[in-house]
Amino acid sequence: MRNKYKIISMSNAINEALDFSMKKDKDMLCFGLGTTDPKGIFSTTINLEKKFGKQRVFDVPASENALTGISVGLSLEKIRSVVSHQRLDFFLLAMDQLVNNAAKWYFTFNQPVPITIRLIIGRGWGQGPTHSQNLQSWFAHIPGLKVIIPSNPNDAKDLLISSIFDPNPVIFIEHRWLHEMKGKVEKNTVLKKLNKIGRCKVIEKGKDLTVVSSSYLVHEARIAIKHLRKFNINCELIDIKSIQPLDWSTIKKSIKKSRHLLVLDTGNSNLSFASEIISLASIEMFKFLKKPPVKLAMPDIPEPASYGLTKGLFIRPINIVKKILDILNIKNKNILKSVQKEPNPHDIPGTWFKGPF
C-alpha cells in the first residue's frame, strides 16, 4: 500500500496526464502557445515533443481564435486535442469559437466535440487587471461546456485524463499558485478508475458548518478549519473540483447535517459560481439553514498591478475564520490571535511559492 503513491508537483501530474493520454490515443494532439518552449508551460509539457514528435506536439502562432477553431475542426474528424493557453485572459479572443461552435455542435448536429482547453489563472506579483482574472463562472454559464478546476496534483492528473477522454468540450482551469504544490499521486493510472467529472469531495468532515471551495482556496480553507478545530469548532470542507456539472447532492447532504453554509470563490463576487450555490441553498435548503448562507469572494474590481494596492486583497485563512465565527455567532478574540495571516510578501500564496515569472 505504501508504494501505491508517489509525491509529485501539480505541474508534473499534468505532464503525466498528457503523457498517458497521448500513449493511449495515438492520434491525439497537444499544442498551444509555449508548448515546446524550454519551460514547457510551467513544466507541464516538458519532454512531450521529444517523446511524441513534432507532428503531435507543437507550438503555434499567437492566434487564439484560429487555434481553437483548428481544435474544433480536428474533433469533427474524431481527433482529440489538448489546447493550452498560458493565460485565461488571452483565451477571451477565442470566445466565438468556444461558445458558438464547440459548445453548440453536439446539440446542433449530434456530433461529439472531444476537445480539452487548458486555461491558466492566477494573481499576485504585479499581474494586474488583464493577467489575473478568474472567470470560471463565465464558462460554467454556457450550456454544452464542462468546467474543471482542480486543487491538488492527484485530481489534476485524474481529471485531466477524464477531460481528454470525455466526448464533450472541457475547460480545464489551473491556478498558477498550485503548479509547484506537491501531493500524493497514484503511480498506476487505470482509465476506468479515474475521478469522474462532476463529483465533489468532502476533504474535512465536521458538523458545525459547511465550507464549499475550489482551487487554491481549498488549501486556505483547510488551514482555517484545522485552526478552528483547536477551539472545538468542527467544519466540513467540500472541494468542488467540477463547477459544471456541479455535484449539488454532496453539498446538499452536508448542509442538512451542519445547517450553516459558507462558499468561497477565487472569482469576483457578482454573479459568481458561489452565488449560484447560495441561490440553490436558499431555494432548496431554506428550512434546514439556521442562518442565511454566506459567500466570500473577490471584490468586484479589476485587480491592481500595484504591490501596495493588493495588500489585504486576497482571501486568507484569517478572513475565512472571521466569516465562520460571524456565521456561528462566536465571539472569542483568542481564536483570531494565532490564525495564519498574510505571508510576506503579501502577493503570493506562501513563502514556498517560487512563481513562474
**Average pLDDT rounded to a whole number, residues 114-138:** 90
The predicted structure's pLDDT at residue 208: 98
pLDDT band, residue 32 (cuts 50/70/90): very high
Q: What average pLDDT does this structure show over 21-46?
A: 94
Question: Do residues 185 and 138 lie in contact, with contact meaning Cβ atoms separated by under 8 Å?
Answer: no
Which residue type does 347 have?
A: D
Peptide bond connecting 345 to the previous residue in cis, omega within 30 degrees of 0: yes
Higher pLDDT, residue 345 or 154: 154
> Band of the pLDDT at 355, cuts 50, 70, 90?
low
Residue 187: predicted pLDDT: 85
Helix/strand/coil for 33: coil
Q: How does pLDDT run across 183-220, given as a tens digit for each residue?
A: 999 888 777 677 789 999 999 999 999 999 999 999 99
Dist. CA 300–CA 303, nearest whole Å: 9
In this structure, are residues 30 and 81 in contact, taking their beta carbons and an 8 Å threshold? yes
CB 194 within 8 A of CB 162: yes
Phi, psi of 95 (to 5 degrees): -60, -30
Peptide bond into 112 cis (omega under 30): no
Which H or E run contains 10? helix 10-24
pLDDT digits (tens, 9 = 90+) for 294-349: 999 999 999 998 888 999 999 999 999 999 999 999 998 899 998 988 888 888 88
Given its phi and psi angles, is residue 330 left (phi above 0), alpha (psi -120 to 50 degrees) or beta? Answer: beta
Rounded to the nearest integer, the mean pLDDT of the chain is: 93
- Sorted by sequence, the CB contacts under 8 Å of residue 28 that are 6+ apart come out as 21, 22, 56, 79, 80, 81, 82, 164
pLDDT at 348: 82
C-alpha cell at 162: 477524464
* Whether the predicted pLDDT of 1 surpasses 80: no
Phi-psi region of 311 (alpha: psi -120 to 50; beta: other; left: phi over 0): beta
Residue type, 175: H
What distance in Å separates the CA atoms of residue 190 and residue 184, rounded to the nearest whole number?
16
d(CA 120, CA 215): 12
> Nine-digit cell at 81?
486535442
| Residue 15 neighbours by CB distance under 10 Å | 23
pLDDT higher than threshold 60 for residue 89 = yes
Query: Whole-angstrom Cα distance, residue 234 to residue 220?
Result: 16
Cβ–Cβ < 8 Å for 233, 328: yes
Contact 121, 147 (CB under 8 A): no
Does residue 34 surpass a pLDDT of 60? Answer: yes
pLDDT surpasses 80 at 353: no
Across the range 245-269, mean pLDDT stands at: 97
Residue 44 dihedral angles phi and psi, to the nearest 5°: -80, -20
Predicted confidence band at 124 (pLDDT cuts at 50, 70, 90)?
Answer: confident
3-state DSSP assignment of residue 255: helix
| Three cell numbers written together for 63 | 492566434
Query: What torsion do the CA atoms of 310, 312, 316, 321 make, to the nearest 10 degrees?
Result: -160
235-251 as b/e: b if 16+ CB within 10 A: bbbbbbbbbbebbeebb
d(CA 89, CA 296): 23
- Asked if 186 and 164 count as a contact pair (C-beta separation under 8 A), the reply is no
Q: Give residue 351's pLDDT band: very low, low, confident or very high (50, 70, 90).
A: low
Distances (CA, A) of 267 to 135, 255, 327: 6, 23, 22
Q: How far apart are alpha carbons 324 and 330 in whole angstroms?
A: 8
- What pLDDT is stored for residue 192 in this prediction? 67
49-88: pLDDT as tens digits = 999 999 999 999 888 999 999 999 999 999 999 999 988 9
Cα–Cα distance measured from residue 218 to residue 195, given in angstroms and rounded to the nearest whole number: 18
Residue 2: alpha-carbon gap to chain centroid: 28
Q: Considering the entire predicted model, what is its pTM?
A: 0.95
